[in-house]
Amino acid sequence: MKGDIYGGHRVIEPKGFLPQAATKINNSPEIFSNEILIDVIALNPTSTAFNRIRTECQGDKEKIKDTIIKIVETQGKFQDPVTKSGGNLIGIVKKIGDDLQGKVGLKVGDKIATLVSLSLTPLKIKKIIDINVDTDQVFIEGDAVLFESAIYTKLPEDLEENLSLAIMDVAGAPAQVAVNAKPNDVVVVVGSGKAGLLCLHEAKKRVKPTGKVICIEYSEEQCELVRKLNLADYVIQGNAQHPLEILQKYQQIMGDRLADLTINTVNVSDTEVSTVLITDNEGLVYFFSMSTNFAKASLGAEGSGKYTKMLVGNGYYPGHAAVTFQIMRDNPLLKTYFENKYLI
């Protein structure tokens, strides 16, 4: 039997919704003729989702395990009920539906990373083997189902699979930088976590020869990391939840020259207005973070007389996996940092 290409046939409730917005979906590993069954190796929840769950569970691994299992058992997928975000996974192709045979560029046994959110992916967890609370990675035994519309990438042979898993859930961010940053631009990246570091690298690459890249980061430790990796021309330590502080510190460096492109990658709320204030009216703000409150962003822009274009944080852009994998090949220092962090 053939299912809906977007997975609507898997929705249990409410009927008529797509899997992303549904509260419960069918996670049976018995696939339809236009689905792909994946033997899951590991889940990589979004930083936003995992940070919330880790905080709620006070870092207790057993409580985190129980919370994740309960979410999946209740919903048939992993979607944090508070932040509504998911993440991605890596796994091995277990079965390809008859209607997709020879059409998807995959074969049984291929190792892939999904590029669609766990918040819409049917998932059945048999066992959680381990959780790395420092890297947000959840190693499991289980099955996942990909719909006909799903996007994914084969894991490159020259990169460790856990490294690929770690960077794939944020691959959309540096890809948007690659598309929107131009030579001689001023680019600001707010936050220097995983997504922020990748964006900084891509921005440095794109704004040559005379452009500037600025990092705004709350943590002194992360500020020092950005300097050590030589990923920014200027590093501003400040609290992006305080708009006037950030604007003042930015202007001390750049004067009235506002940013052409600002990328917000932080996993906390209330940083929207700072991001808008430092961006030129003719520029672009890219809110990658799922912590963004888009009402605050739009009303904050209106209230400060700004008409800057704002891009919602779509995690997908054609070719984004290739852009992110290439960063790892081009920047040995950044690759080593990620390897030390994620290959534990």
Query: For 61-110, how does the pLDDT look when each residue is reduced to its tens digit (9 = 90+)?
Result: 999 999 999 999 999 999 999 989 999 999 999 999 999 999 999 999 99
Work out the mean pLDDT of the chain and round it to a whole number.
Answer: 94
Cβ atoms of 218 and 245 closer than 8 Å: no
Is 196 within the bounds of a domain?
yes
pLDDT of residue 249: 98
| Nearest one of 34, 167, 179, 49 to 113, comparing CA atoms | 167
Which of 101, 266, 299, 128 is CA-nearest to residue 197? Answer: 266
**Number of Cβ atoms within 10 Å of the Cβ of 311:** 14
Q: Which domain holds residue 289?
A: 172-337
The verdict on 330 and 208 lying in the same domain is yes
> Same structural domain for residues 142 and 91?
yes
Q: Give the mean model confidence (pLDDT) for residues 154-166.
A: 89
Domain of 201: which CATH number?
A: 3.40.50.720
Domain match, 117 and 226 both: no
Comparison of pLDDT for 314 and 232, the residue scoring more: 232
- Domain end point (choices 126, 145, 168): 168
Q: How many CA atoms lie within 13 A of 254 on its CB side?
A: 26
- Residue 3 included in any domain: no
Q: Is the pLDDT of residue 297 over 90?
A: no
Q: What angle do CA 98, 78, 128 make, to 5 degrees?
A: 95
Q: What is the pTM of this model?
A: 0.85
Indicate the residue among 151, 168, 185 that finishes a domain: 168
pLDDT of residue 274: 95
CA distances from 295 to 109, 120, 226, 269, 302 (A): 45, 24, 31, 12, 11
107 & 218 share domain: no
How far is the C-alpha of 147 from the C-alpha of 100, rounded, in Å? 10
Residues 194 and 151 grouped into a single domain: no
Kindly write down the DSSP assignment for every residue of 289-342, as one continuous string: -TT--HHHHHHHHHHTT---EEEE--S--TTHHHHHHHHHHH-HHHHHHHHHHH
- CATH number of the domain within which 99 lies: 3.90.180
**243 and 101, same structural domain?**
no
Please tell me whether residues 150 and 189 are part of one structural domain: no
Same domain assignment for residues 139 and 206: no
Residue 1 lies in a domain: no
Residues 6+ apart with CB under 8 A from 217: 190, 191, 192, 196, 223, 226, 235, 236, 237, 238
Distance of CA 69 to the CA centre of its chain: 22
Contact assessment for residue 236 and residue 253, using Cβ atoms and an 8 Å cutoff: yes
Using the 3D structure, point to which of 168, 189, 211 is the last residue of a domain.
168
183 and 84: one domain? no
**Domains of the chain: total:** 2
342: in domain: no
Q: What is the mean predicted confidence (pLDDT) over 249-278?
A: 95
Q: Indicate whether 316 pLDDT > 80.
A: no
Same domain? 19 vs 127? yes
Q: Has residue 283 been placed in a domain?
A: yes
Domain shared by 156 and 193, yes or no? no
Rounded CA separation 193/217 (Å): 9
| Amino acid 344: pLDDT | 62
Q: Taking residues 151-156, what's their average pLDDT?
A: 92
Average pLDDT over residues 210-214: 97
pLDDT tens for residues 13-50? Answer: 999 999 999 999 999 999 999 999 999 999 999 888 99
- Between CA 35 and CA 30 the distance in angstroms is 10
Residue 2 lies in a domain: no
Residue 129 scores a pLDDT above 80: yes
Are 102 and 194 found together in one domain? no
| Closest to 277 measured CA to CA, from 254, 299, 298, 258 | 258
Helix or strand (DSSP H, E) at 245: helix 243-254
